[in-house]
Structure 1
Amino acid sequence: MKNTLNTDYFENLWLNDHPFNDRNADFWNLRAEEFNQSVSKNRSVSNREKKVELFLEKGLINSNSRALDIGCGSGQLAIALAKVVKEVVAMDFSEKMLDYAKKNAKEAGVDNIQFVLSDWENFVLEEPFDLVIASMSPAINGPADLYKMLMACKGSCCLSAFVKRSGALKEKLYSVTDQAFKPQYNIINYIFNILWTKGYLAELSYEMGSYERLLPLEKAREIYPLELDISESPEKIKSLYAFLDQKEKDGFITEIMSQTRGELIWKVSK
């Protein structure tokens, strides 16, 4: 019986599975303030420090290492890495995310981070890095992005993404705007299997948790049409606004999100 579980099989699954439209830099510019606030909390800081400690324990980095953070957001993981490695290159296609990242790095007193405004497709690779990270990054959106990540690395890679994410409010918003809820988060599955077919033995771990998302009503009116992919539908936006107005309390929309993250770590040298 022919084995159909080859690299092409999982590449095609990934290429044909896009439950969410690709979000552009404008979307992440809009979310930069919210994102920066959420990842600046004490628990998030502690988690990043533990992650860097894990990299050290596994021998993935040392004081002479160079690291690349693909889709660095507001720079918190890049900052934690910069405290223990020689150099970090932190790239993002959102100018406002990078503005927060530069500010956070200055406040943290680190000066060994090179910030680059670029998307991953057009990012110029000059030499490979000892550690390449894509932490919850929308930049790795297909097989070509993954293979460029491998090319950028001469040591180890770390990639994380949602495997499950839900919130009662978000599910209700899909219903209110006459849409089916889209719960698929399959990227970790595809990447793990592509790596396996190519001989990379990735370690897979999961992290479960929940957090409170608090948005000013006007900001929620901007963000949710993009998240629900209804920006071109005035009638659906009207229904969304009416529902948000009912749920507003003291000028804010509150949403409790439950999520499971998957993380892959693998060595590029087979």
Structure 2
Amino acid sequence: MKDNPPCTIDERNEAKSDSVDKQKFWNGRAQEFSEHAASTGYPAAFLRIMKPRKSWTVLDMACGGGTLAIPLARKVKSITAVDFSGRMLEIVEERCRRGGIVNVKTLPGRWEDDWDRLGIGVHDVAIASRSLLSEDAGESLTKLDRVAKKAVYISTQVGDGPFDRKLLESAGREFRLRPDYIFYVNLLYEMGIRANVSFIPESNPNSWESHEEALKDQRWMLQGMTEEEEEKVREYLRKHLVMVKGRWQLPYSRNYSWAVLYWKKNGRGRG
């Protein structure tokens, strides 16, 4: 789900997810996640909430493979697309070349970096799609608010989000829920920002041609998976996958929603 999707769930994941490990992981999965994110209907739904204007300059922080930057590019003046994964930025550039898009500038950078030194600058609108992973959420939100002249749009998970709690626990990992949208609504309120909230439902196909494909599709949830953990997950899938119309499925829904929080700088979220 990257734009960058939430990817650390428990203490083991957190211990393994320093900046080098995360960069290596997302570089390796960049193409797959970019293709998935573009096919879900999420980008179009986000843009309907955003109502972009042709005069806008936009910062897309942690842009992933251009899930929003590519469809947004034809609707705004320019976009600065920032991500810490070099491969993600290459995908953005490749998609721009294929589509004849010339108003997207890519820039390597992280939430934790000094944005002034990166040269991010000030934009009309700042967006951060499914990517608020910084340890200091307040600082990240402050940075977004500071570089936006007109409005800020962020999205984050609702409840468990795209994570499969049962599958994670089958591997022996404790499910530790990351703060969902309510945390950010309250944090913004404490910052003096009354954010508007809209929701984007997303349907998980939850369907695979083989057990091996099903396992591969879960690896993003289990970074640093050991051989023992992998065997536990394989056993879980062998036990629970059922054949439905020629494809393997888990016998429960994995549909979820994303919350889009947004505020205008004139009125601090009241307009």
TM-score category (smaller protein): 0.7 to 0.9
- Which residue in 2 is equivalent to 1:228? 222
Instruction: Letter of the 2:88 partner, please give it.
Output: M
What SS is found at the alignment partner of 1:257? coil
Give me the TM-score of the superposition, normalised by structure 2.
Answer: 0.73
* Per-residue deviation, 1:160: 0.4
Q: 1:119 aligns with which of 93, 96, 110?
A: 110
| Structure 2, gaps ≥5 residues long | 1-7
Q: Does 1:264 align with 2:261?
A: yes
Cα distance in structure 1, aligned partners of 2:68 and 2:138 = 24
CA distance in 1, matches of 2:158, 2:181: 7
Identity %: 24
Q: Give 1:230 shift.
A: 5.6
Note if contact 1:131-1:156 (Cα within 8 Å) is conserved in structure 2.
Answer: yes
Coordinate RMSD, CA, aligned: 3.3
The structure-2 alpha-carbon separation of the partners of 1:214 and 1:37, relative to structure 1 and needing over 3 Å to count, comes to farther
Distance 1:127 1:179, change over 3 A: closer
Residues 125 and 152 of structure 1 are in contact (CA less than 8 Å); yes or no, is this contact kept in structure 2?
Answer: no
Matched residues in 2 for 1:259 and 1:75: separation?
22
Q: Deviation at 1:236?
A: 2.5
Deviation at 1:48, TM superposition (A): 3.0
- 8 A contact 1:176–1:240 mirrored in 2: yes
Query: Partner of 1:91: helix, strand, or coil?
Result: strand
The structure-2 alpha-carbon separation of the partners of 1:254 and 1:68, relative to structure 1 and needing over 3 Å to count, comes to farther
CA distance in 2, matches of 1:104, 1:194: 35
Residues 1:189 and 1:83: Cα distance change in structure 2 (over 3 Å) = same
Provide the C-alpha distance between the structure 2 equivalents of 1:253 and 1:130, rounded to a whole number of angstroms: 46
For normalisation by structure 1, the TM-score amounts to 0.74
Report the 3-state secondary structure (helix = DSSP H, G, I; strand = E; otherwise coil) of the residue aligned with 2:168: helix
Distance 1:49 1:226 in 2: 24
**Does residue 67 of structure 1 match 2:75?**
no
Task: Establish whether residue 104 from structure 1 lines up as the match of residue 117 from structure 2.
Answer: no
1:89 aligns with 2:80: yes
* Counterpart check, 1:196 vs 2:189: yes
Aligned position for 1:7: none
Counterpart contact for 1:164–1:261, Cα < 8 Å:
no
Distance 1:54 1:225 in 2: 31
Distance 1:194 1:222, change over 3 A: same
- The match for 2:71 is 80
Q: Aligned residue for 2:205?
A: 212
Closer, same or farther in 2 for the Cα pair 1:230/1:248, shift >3 Å? farther
Q: CA deviation at 1:175?
A: 3.6
